[in-house]
Amino acid sequence: MNLLIVGPQASGKGTQAEKLVDKFNLAHIEMGGLLRNMAKEDSSFGKQVAELINSGQLVPDEMIIEVINKYLANIGKLDGILFDGFPRIVSQAEYFDNFLSQKGQKLDLVVYLTLPREEVFKRLINRRICSQCGKVFNILTNPPKVEGICDFCGGALVIREDDTPEKINKRLDGFENKTVPMIEYYKQKGIVEKLDGNRPIEVIFDDVVERMKKRGLL
């Protein structure tokens, strides 16, 4: 079973991805995380990736494909893979479909979480992240016990560098202009399930599971 989860920033993609991976024994490929790790490496590839990410640009397809090929070559045998952050644009989706079909596989489902722009803003503006352990809080919906301090490690909570209104707008424009057309491409293939991401975590998760059942994936 191969799944792809997509949605705008702060749509709860990461949370749902973790739950799906745990429940169904899936491998989880999170492209943003893989790239952020590479960006820390002291290599020319790492430096190039860091520059692109920090300036809010997409990493070119040739580099993304190199990363994904390396990752897939090393993956163990599991019940399936949950892709998150790849493919992200139509050209990557076309490459990916070709790649899977050469292996006698296909993408079975695209889980598309939606969230209105105002809600994305509200979530991101109120997001705080621990400067030490990386745990994420939200001062409205999931506040720390003591203001400004991480419940888990006592580290200082900070605002992420890219959670400024201009950068949020830039990222959302990228989603609308480049990722939404890719979702449309998969919609034509009849494999997209669109879900309202503005609901409690468990309600969304039950909805995803229901739709997987309806499609005979479980």
Verify binding: residue 183, ligand AMP, rule CB under 6 A: no
- Collapsed DSSP state (helix, strand, coil) of residue 128: strand
Verify binding: residue 172, ligand AMP, rule CB under 6 A: no
Distance CA 176, CA 114 (A): 11
Contact with ligand AMP (CB under 6 A) among 50, 53, 149, 209 = 53
Exactly one of 23, 106, 160, 187 is catalytic; which is it?
Answer: 160
Burial (CB count <10 Å: 0-12, 13-18, 19+), residue 204 = buried
Distance CA 194, CA 186 (A): 12
Distance CA 57, CA 74 (A): 27
Pairing of strands 109-114, 2-6: parallel
Verify binding: residue 182, ligand AMP, rule CB under 6 A: no
Distance CA 200, CA 205 (A): 9
CB nearer to ligand AMP: give 28 or 209.
Answer: 28
Whether 13 is catalytic: yes
Beta carbons within 8 Å of 30's beta carbon, 6+ residues apart:
14, 17, 84, 85
Verify binding: residue 82, ligand AMP, rule CB under 6 A: no
CB nearer to ligand AMP: give 64 or 129.
Answer: 64
Verify binding: residue 83, ligand AMP, rule CB under 6 A: no
Whether 211 is catalytic: no
CB nearer to ligand AMP: give 1 or 52.
Answer: 52
Whether 88 is catalytic: yes
Pairing of strands 157-158, 127-130: antiparallel
- Collapsed DSSP state (helix, strand, coil) of residue 92: helix
CB nearer to ligand AMP: give 25 or 169.
Answer: 169
Whether 213 is catalytic: no
User: Per-residue contact track with ligand AMP, 2 to 31, x per CB under 6 A?
Assistant: -----------------------------x
Verify binding: residue 46, ligand AMP, rule CB under 6 A: no
- Of the candidates 79, 116, 73, 106, the one whose C-alpha atom is nearest the C-alpha of residue 186 is 106
For ligand AMP, the binding residues in 62-81 under the rule CB under 6 A are 64
H helices of 155-200, in order, are 165-174, 180-188
Verify binding: residue 88, ligand AMP, rule CB under 6 A: yes
Whether 128 is catalytic: no
* The two structure tokens encoding residue 33: 């995380």
Q: Which residues are catalytic?
A: 13, 88, 127, 160, 171
Annotated binding-site residue numbers for ATP: 10-15, 127, 136-137, 199
Residues that bind ligand AMP (CB under 6 A): 31-32, 35, 52-53, 57-59, 64, 85-86, 88, 92
